[in-house]
Amino acid sequence: MTSLATVYDRERERAVDPEQREDSGSDSELKLEKDGMSDTESKVDSGVPEVPVPPDDTPEVLNKALSGLSSRWKNWWVRGILTLAMISFFFFIIYLGPMVLMMIVLCVQIKCFQEIITIGYSVYHSYHLPWFRTLSWYFLLCVNYFFYGETVTDYFFTLVQREEPLRILSKYHRFISFALYLTGFCMFVLSLVKKHYRLQFYMFGWTHVTLLIVVTQSHLIIHNLFEGMIWFIVPISCVICNDIMAYMFGFFFGRTPLIKLSPKKTWEGFIGGFFSTIVFGIMLSYVMAGYRYFVCPVEFNNDSNSFQVDCEPSDLFQLQDYALPSIMESVTGWTTVHLYPFQIHSIALSSFASIVGPFGGFFASGFKRAFKIKDFANTIPGHGGIMDRFDCQYLMATFVNVYIASFIRGPNPSKVIQQLLALRADQQLHIFNSLKAHLTEKGLLPALEEATA
């Protein structure tokens, strides 16, 4: 039986398109992988059906214009042209404002979820699992309701308190969210079918892991956006820069393989992408830190019922003098430099984007190799699916959110006031008297009264 499976695998390798074979590694690498696997592992791998490879959807105009080039250079031009188009679209949605950015993040989240769930459905379609896709989308709706309901309560508190239905939904938000999830859980239990129990529980886990990766991270992206558009744009731009520059350095100078999961990734591309991203992050931060539109937190104006981005920039976005180390002073001849403190933080963001961020791509590569597919989908010619472009962005979003909470954000007075207003009158009075006694003891209250007088 093992020999028949081996013969089948060899015949399938010969039938693979050369360009696809290059993507999945050299013939020798494939042979070593097969030789290194035990019989049990081979059986497990061969038991996973392959997802059909999406057809080439490169626009006919590009196919005709690049028909005289080799597949390597054709792919380079297609990726380059589509990359420029996506960057232009990114600038356009930034110009449209934070509300449009939030809608785009939500659309990207839904598309990424659809691509991953479709892979699961395509792989196990022959089993005809009941309610799998319906329950997957239902759980997506439940999780989004939970996360975005929390966000609405935090950032639109005055609006929520003004409308009776919204106030009720806000007060019992977590109970409603739990009830919705519990309904989906019961529907899953009722859909269990004899002989497919294990597979159904496997797909139940598949859906929940997908929700954890996609929905949670996209929610963190929106939270970063509310801290100021610079916390949204700079991290995303650093990941894009690292992806582009690593590809460029690897394409022209790459010789040394970096990791077996992605045979095309090279050390030359990894190192070149790192230094390019650091320089890019510092320069982009310098440009953006001078504009209130980018550095001010995104707040909801209750009077105009619209988002506004206007404030007095914090010290993080005020130019300061920094003394250079003696070594750099001897090289440059400068004793001090004018920098925004955010530029120093951008070095941490750029470093993560270029050192740890690519591991999101490696993780995605391992996932695709496990199911013998080249891309998550064929949405973007030359790039694959939306998830292929955002595999590193989700990891970056978590880091930025943790970084802001750890090193940047202090207590939020507006949230404290929201919680105080939700208390009973006697509780509010008790807190007022306690705070008054505390300020009087510290000697601050007389000074405040004199200032107001």
Beta-carbon contacts of 24 under 8 Å, excluding residues fewer than 6 positions away, are: 16, 30, 263, 369, 374
What pLDDT is attached to residue 12? 41
Kindly tell me the burial class for residue 156, based on how many C-beta atoms sit within 10 Å of its own C-beta (0-12, 13-18, 19 or more): middle
DSSP state of 128: -
Eight-state DSSP code of residue 335 = S
What residues have CB less than 8 Å from 29, skipping those under 6 apart? 260, 263
> Is the distance from CB of 30 to CB of 13 less than 8 angstroms?
yes
What element of type H or E holds 337? strand 336-339
Please, are residues 184 and 94 in contact by the beta-carbon 8 Å criterion? no
Compute how many other C-beta atoms are within 10 angstroms of the C-beta atom of residue 272: 22
Does 418 have pLDDT greater than 90?
no
Query: How many residues belong to the chain?
Result: 453
Q: Which helix (H) or strand (E) holds 323?
A: strand 320-323
Tens-place pLDDT, residues 56-99: 556 666 666 677 777 777 777 777 887 888 888 888 988 888 88
Contact 222, 151 (CB under 8 A): yes
Mean pLDDT to the nearest integer, 182-192: 94
Token couple for 257? 């393989």
Tell whether pTM > 0.95. no
pLDDT at 34 over 70: no
319-376 pLDDT, tens digit each: 998 888 888 888 888 888 889 999 999 999 999 999 999 998 888 888 888 888 888 8
Phi first, then psi: give them for residue 196, nearest 5 degrees. -125, 15
Give residue 452's pLDDT.
53
* Cα-to-chain-centroid distance, residue 71: 31
